Structure 1
Amino acid sequence: HNPQQLQLLESSTHFNPVDLVCGIKNFKGQTFDLQKFVDHDSGFIVQKNKNGKEIRAYELPGLWNGAMAKWITLFVEVPLATFNPVKTVNDLLKSAHQPQEL
């Protein structure tokens, strides 16, 4: 466990993998076999909206949700200029979502 990474995780206010960087090759230049990073005994319940109805689903861990098994995941704070999620309509009022002059 990396205490610095744990501190970043614990102090975070939200998670949204807008900037996802994946190393697909090892240090020898060989492509990773992603099937080796699956834990078939693991999963979690997620809440989603399907056709306007809130549902719960069982999701298997994977690269898409940051839950790969035996995989090194680093959480990195990115500059606000590269991370501007829209969670509510008010977020559209932020300068990052306003037209820019050329």
Structure 2
Amino acid sequence: MHWVMRLLALVLPALILKRALTREKASKRPLTLSDWMFNKLGLESHMSKLGVDEAMLPEMALKAAERNGDVLHGITDLTTKDIKNIYRMCNPMQ
């Protein structure tokens, strides 16, 4: 069942974006993923806007990888250090 959830996590956003792009076909400028997520859906673009600060990142990285021996498996394996660095990129200092 775990592989089904991973597959859905990969495929579902693409299907939603495809549908959104089809609706926006007539516009002069194509809809990008960031336009759709941040402008159409109104999602925040930085984790800091959600109240996430630097002190929370180590615990978040551990929780992301704890089920698999501190490695998050995917296209490439990510260690907790890699995950923290990705979170830092999503959480610029303000």
**Normalised TM-score (structure 2):** 0.22
Larger strand share, 1 or 2: 1
Larger helix share, 1 or 2: 2
**Normalised TM-score (structure 1):** 0.21
Greater C-alpha radius of gyration: 1
